[in-house]
């Protein structure tokens, strides 16, 4: 039985980062809603309570049932989780007069506490709270403080339960990973055996048991997610996997041909389907981003429904859905997290489509997917390919979509991406692309006045897509690229560069 850490989600924006940090320690974890946890069994080695946008003083504050956890399993409350452990067990939480948001430093640290072993005095931590623990319950011992928060960390005497007011999961908490390792390895006793190789072995075994002799149809995109998903399924069911690569008319320049050629080396059953006209027609006159995504998703499902009838006894649709897709579409926990945008491969299938869904990567982050791919021997041309959105250029053309706009953006994107590769910048960037804006600007070409389109270039650095910083590409490269785009792409007379980070901006513009 796979040992795991259970994370109870109260709706914090950082809950998924807790999961990432746990996994970086080669320990498996699962996120579940605070009000719908799994049955506690011997596989659960410890529990973490997440932060929350709520205050424990709110009438509708989320209150978990910890009767099978507190005092029986190692327990760590983070921010709201810590305040809950104080507020609901005899302490008092009040609105703070000295609220802390952002960086703070520990002014006292009890290194005798198992949780804080190796944590330095003045260690930088990240705070994000408006309440403070004013009074501790009788058997709670303060183990760390900051200049403004006396009860920044505590241990409960007589049990392996702890609370911290700060967020160890964010990078700004410089020794946060030390604290988490103290809890997960030192206190919970996890063996750190959840590795890419172990994931492949376990997942393939689970897929064999789940699918048996059934046939699976999987949509390939050329990206790392669908490729790794295909390889896992291929290991499990071999020739019973039937891969389909759909040209939705919104791919990059020459991508349909290039991707099919790349897959020849992997031994997969791959069929190419040219459905571009169907997608472009369905999107005619549509400008609202969510509507565009849903139309593309619906057309994608219709194509697969049609293709599925060509594969005798196909019972499953395989998808390369990964964790950020699920998180951004709907709270994976069913909890209070907000929907940011919908993804075409998340949320199930319509009733008329008789295929069940299998998603072998749905609990992995992008960097984890890449590590799994490498463990299976996939080449860099698959592993290092930039992420490309499922709806393709459909969400990079702001406003309505036409075949001519797609042509323009394909040409712009090709110059940008080819330039990154030629100048040795491609692998320094996590994701890059161009956006066609619903804006025209005045320009001068030769002696003539022009009134043509504006394109925005976007390049970001990230590890998992949950957060991202804009890439500081050299001015010389940007100047050369802009000049090449304007001189070679008819219909564009202005190029801008997006210097927004995520958050607050998303990586895509729609």
Query: Which residues are annotated as catalytic?
Result: 79, 167, 169
Residue 72 gets the label, from left (phi > 0), alpha (psi -120 to 50) or beta, of alpha
Question: Strands 469-470, 448-461: parallel, antiparallel or unpaired by DSSP?
Answer: antiparallel
Task: Encode 305-324 in three state secondary structure.
Answer: HHHHCCCCCEEEEECCCCHH
Residue by residue, what is the 3-state secondary structure of 326-367?
HHHHCCCCCCCCCCCCCCCCCCCCCCCCCCEEECCCCCCCHH
Q: Output the CA angle 278-281-493, nearest 5 degrees.
A: 115
Give the separation between CA 267 and CA 286, rounded to whole angstroms: 39
Which candidate, 387, 359, 381, 374, places its Cα nearest to that of 464? 387
What sign results for the dihedral spanned by CA atoms 191, 197, 202, 203? Answer: positive
**Contact of 283 with 394, CB cutoff 8 Å:** yes
CB neighbours of residue 153 within 10 Å: 27
Whose tokens are 């919908």? That residue is 342
Nearest to 80 by CA among 24, 116, 127, 145: 127
**Residues 204, 282: Cα–Cα separation, whole Å:** 38
d(CA 335, CA 332): 8
In a 13 Å sphere around the CA of 31, the CA atoms on its Cβ side amount to: 29
Neighbours of 241 (CB within 10 A): 25
**C-beta neighbour count of 34 within 10 angstroms:** 24
> Which residues neighbour 296 within 8 Å (Cβ) at sequence distance 6 or greater?
248, 250, 279, 282, 283, 344, 390, 391, 392, 394
Structure tokens at 155: 């241990």
β-strand partners of 215: 314
- Containing 323, the helix (H) or strand (E) segment is helix 323-329
Calpha distance 73→44 (Å, rounded): 8
CA angle, 481 then 465 then 249, to 5°: 60
* Number of CB atoms found within 10 A of residue 433's CB: 27
| Pairing relationship of beta strands 92-109 and 124-135 according to DSSP bridges | antiparallel
Residues 6 or more apart whose Cβ sits within 8 Å of residue 14: 50, 51, 128, 167, 169, 170
């Amino acid at each position: 039985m796979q040992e795991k850490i259970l994370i109870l989600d109260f709706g914090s924006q950082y809950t998924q980062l807790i999961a990432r940090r746990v996994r970086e320690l080669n320990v498996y974890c699962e996120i579940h809603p605070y009000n719908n946890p799994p049955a506690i069994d011997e596989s659960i080695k410890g529990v973490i309570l997440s932060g929350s946008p709520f205050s424990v003083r709110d009438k509708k504050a989320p209150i978990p049932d910890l009767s099978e956890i507190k005092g029986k399993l190692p327990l760590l409350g983070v921010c709201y989780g810590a305040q809950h452990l104080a507020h609901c067990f005899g302490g008092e939480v009040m609105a703070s007069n000295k609220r802390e948001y952002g960086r703070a430093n520990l002014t006292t640290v009890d290194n005798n506490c198992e949780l804080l072993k190796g944590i330095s005095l003045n260690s930088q931590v990240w705070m994000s709270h408006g309440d403070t623990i004013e009074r501790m319950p009788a058997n709670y011992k303060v183990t760390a403080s900051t200049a403004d928060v006396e009860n920044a960390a505590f241990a409960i005497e007589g049990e392996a339960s702890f609370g911290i007011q700060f967020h160890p999961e964010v990078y700004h908490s410089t020794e946060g990973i030390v604290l988490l390792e103290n809890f997960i390895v030192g206190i919970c006793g996890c063996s750190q055996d959840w590795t890419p190789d172990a994931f492949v072995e376990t997942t393939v075994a689970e897929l064999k048991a789940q699918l048996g002799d059934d046939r699976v149809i999987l949509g390939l995109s050329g990206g790392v997610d669908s490729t790794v998903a295909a390889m896992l399924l291929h290991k499990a069911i071999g020739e019973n996997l039937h891969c389909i690569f759909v040209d939705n008319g919104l791919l990059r320049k020459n991508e349909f041909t290039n991707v099919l050629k790349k897959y020849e080396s992997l031994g997969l059953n791959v069929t190419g389907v040219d459905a571009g006209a169907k997608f472009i027609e369905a999107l005619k006159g549509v400008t609202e981003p969510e509507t565009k995504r849903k139309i593309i998703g619906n057309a994608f499902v219709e194509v697969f429904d049609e293709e599925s009838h060509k594969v005798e006894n196909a019972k499953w649709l395989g998808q390369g859905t990964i964790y950020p897709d699920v998180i951004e579409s709907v709270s994976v926990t069913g909890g209070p997290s907000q929907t940011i945008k919908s993804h075409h491969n998340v949320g199930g299938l319509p009733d008329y489509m008789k295929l069940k869904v299998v998603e072998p990567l749905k609990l992995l982050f992008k960097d984890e997917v890449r590590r799994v791919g490498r463990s299976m021997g996939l080449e860099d041309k698959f592993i290092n390919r930039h992420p490309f959105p499922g709806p393709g250029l459909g969400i990079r053309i702001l406003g309505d979509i036409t075949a001519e706009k797609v042509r323009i953006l394909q040409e712009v994107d090709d110059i940008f991406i080819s330039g990154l590769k030629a100048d040795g910048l491609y692998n320094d960037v996590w994701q890059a692309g161009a956006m066609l804006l619903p804006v025209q600007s005045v320009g001068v070409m030769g002696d003539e006045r022009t009134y043509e389109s504006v394109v925005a270039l976007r390049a970001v650095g990230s590890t998992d897509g949950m957060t991202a910083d804009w890439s500081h590409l050299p001015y010389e490269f940007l100047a050369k690229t802009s000049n090449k785009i304007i001189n070679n792409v008819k219909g564009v007379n202005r190029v801008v560069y997006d210097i927004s980070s995520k958050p607050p901006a998303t990586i895509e513009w729609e």
